[in-house]
Structure 1
Amino acid sequence: MAENKVVVVGSINMDLVASSPRLPAPGETILGTSFTTTPGGKGANQAIAAAKAGADVAFVGAVGDDTFALDLRQALVEAEVDAEGLREVSGASGIAVITVDGDGQNSIVVVAGANDRVTALTDDELRAVADADVLLCQLEIPLDTVTAAAHHAARSDTTVVLNPSPAQTLPPELLESVDVLIVNETEEGQLGADALAAVPHVVTTLGAAGARYRGPDGDRLTVDSPIVDAVDTTGAGDAFAGALASAWSRGPRDALTFACAAGALTATRPGASAASPTRREIDALLAANH
């Protein structure tokens, strides 16, 4: 049985992933050890993670008319994400160029492509947002689209979860519609205290140290992450966000615990969306750590 009905309005990219012993310095060329192409984009990654974690998920976004588009759509379908809202536009799909070092750390360059063409939502897409339990958004599509989707969700009593990445200044008209903000420690510092204070629920991911939570009444808690051997941290944050959206109805402590386990498992595997775990795998890891 699905945890929540989640709609993701966000980005979808083809990830071009090169592995190397270390990350190159500026101006330096080094020899890599492998290269793969894998579907990604923060929106699609989080949608797939939420679906694999047990949610009923629909995705709204855009691909180009290039050779990547079919594979990107197929990745959503194979994860049982409803892809009816995936538009095809002229031009290139979004891409991300990712370098992963021997310790699992990464550097990423994103080129938006078709993601910049995700503009006003259709009537069907607006109805999907209104009917969902959770709207999950990021900032790899136009900010006006995210703001409009969040406003519509807030008017429809749909919980709005925002992962403001890549970090940028958030306008008050967006913040007033957000229920849950998911940030890492860097993004937390970049957004500033005023932005964080404007949102009822703030979740800060701490990498291998887990995550912390601040609620509307000032209540706070910290959840540890299961200890794992990290291989590639590329998709861990997105897996965390998708799993959190999936489990938010359980309450903050259980949702954070579930999301930390999802992020930890993702870091044990190469890739982004393909590395996100199933609900059964998450539950098994949590059972093993009790």
Structure 2
Amino acid sequence: MENRKKILVIGSSNTDMVVQTSHFPKPGQTVLGGKFMMNAGGKGANQAVAAARLDGLVRLIAKLGQDIFATEALSGFRKEGIDITYLRQTFEYASGVALITVAENGENEIVVASGANMDLKPADISNEAFEEVGLVMMQCEIPLETISYVADICSRKGIPVLLNPAPATSLPESLLSRLFMITPNETETEVMTGIYPGNPKDMERAAHWFLNQGVQNVLITLGKQGVYWQNKTQKGMVPAVQVQAVDTTGAGDVFNGALAQAVVEGCSLPAACQFAVKAAAIAVTRLGAQTAAPFRNEIV
């Protein structure tokens, strides 16, 4: 067990404030919602928890404020067995918060106040945090400068980088060329490549765009359809597990956390996708983000 490689997650931590409602309000409209929940969230934290629950050895670098949201988040990370030795806190910004509306069909709308997340600077990244790490996983809810800085460190150390490019943004080739794996969804793929992956031909075209930028492995997540994967020698499609969705919040994060764990365990790309798809399918049948992440014994 001591020789297992760690997953280093560098990203955001938010508190999700969730309201269930029958439908999304139109501009200027007030809708009376139902149940209110306050859950731990943020893409970085979600992915860290997802990997940890699947038997991953996870280390998390994030930045929190000095407030009640930070206190709750830290308690949650410790409970999940996540190494937070290198996590930072600041008095200058509040901890990140996300306002989430969940409709009856399971779809969601999210507005994020990033707070301390966007103050996670290269100077906050300790070199010691990369010790015994087999994979670094990041998202785009922290500054691009920090993402690029970490990718450069990993390139020098020979550590593979998995980037979940969410929320959607354009990224420089200097960063893309350092990525072992990228996992955009359909919207993110279109923003980055100009190609909407609505059919197999366009999925392949979009994947080629990433490969031509230097990314080694491309996984385009397609919601209910599953995931399309491609590298320079292989390509394929892994179908989604069909379930009745209750809440899709955090499903992509569970997919990425599970994917990271499968990669660290040495799974092939198709097998890693299958494992991640199963984990995400369980997550969408539950409310919340981190709270919905399955444990290893639930995936069969």
Structure 1 length as normaliser, TM-score? Answer: 0.93
Counterpart residue number, 1:273: 290
Letter in 2 for 1:106: N
Deviations along 1:69-111, one digit per CA (max 9) or x if unpaired, are 1101111111111111221101310000000001110000011
1:23/1:4 CA distance change after superposition, 3 Å: farther
Distance between the aligned counterparts of 2:152 and 2:132, measured in 1? 14
For residue 183 of structure 1, report the CA deviation from its aligned partner. 0.8
CA contact (8 A) 1:17 1:98 kept: yes
Distance between the aligned counterparts of 1:281 and 1:127, measured in 2? 34
CA contact (8 A) 1:160 1:178 kept: yes
1:162 aligns with 2:177: no
Letter in 2 for 1:170: L
Counterpart residue number, 2:202: none
The aligned runs of 1:215-226 (5 Å cut-off) are: 215-217=231-233, 219-226=234-241
CA contact (8 A) 1:130 1:156 kept: no
The aligned runs of 1:5-84 (5 Å cut-off) are: 5-84=6-85
Counterpart residue number, 2:227: 211
1:239 aligns with 2:254: yes
Distance between the aligned counterparts of 2:75 and 2:139, measured in 1? 21
Letter in 1 for 2:212: A
Counterpart residue number, 1:261: 278
Letter in 1 for 2:280: G
CA RMSD of aligned residues (A): 1.5
> Number of aligned pairs?
281
Gaps of 5+ in 1: 285-290
Letter in 1 for 2:122: A
Q: Secondary structure at the match of 1:177?
A: coil
1:260/1:121 CA distance change after superposition, 3 Å: farther
For residue 38 of structure 1, report the CA deviation from its aligned partner. 0.5
The aligned runs of 1:89-100 (5 Å cut-off) are: 89-90=90-91, 91-100=93-102
Deviations along 1:145-171, one digit per CA (max 9) or x if unpaired, are 011111111211111000011111101
Counterpart residue number, 2:106: 104
Q: Secondary structure at the match of 2:84?
A: strand
Distance between the aligned counterparts of 1:77 and 1:150, measured in 2? 27
The aligned runs of 1:143-182 (5 Å cut-off) are: 143-182=144-183
Q: Secondary structure at the match of 1:25?
A: coil
CA contact (8 A) 2:12 2:117 kept: yes
Q: Secondary structure at the match of 1:85?
A: coil
Q: Secondary structure at the match of 2:71?
A: helix
Q: Secondary structure at the match of 1:169?
A: coil
Name whichever of 33-42 and 83-92 sits farther off. Answer: 83-92
Gaps of 5+ in 2: 194-205
Letter in 2 for 1:167: A
Structure 2 length as normaliser, TM-score? Answer: 0.90
Letter in 2 for 1:202: V
Q: Secondary structure at the match of 1:45?
A: helix
Distance between the aligned counterparts of 2:147 and 2:153, measured in 1? 10
Deviations along 1:93-132, one digit per CA (max 9) or x if unpaired, are 0000000001110000011101011002457x32322531
For residue 14 of structure 1, report the CA deviation from its aligned partner. 0.4
For residue 176 of structure 1, report the CA deviation from its aligned partner. 1.6
Counterpart residue number, 1:287: none
Distance between the aligned counterparts of 1:108 and 1:273, measured in 2? 16
Counterpart residue number, 2:135: 134
Counterpart residue number, 1:251: 268
Q: Report the identity percentage.
A: 40
Name whichever of 145-154 and 185-194 sits farther off. Answer: 185-194
Counterpart residue number, 2:217: 201
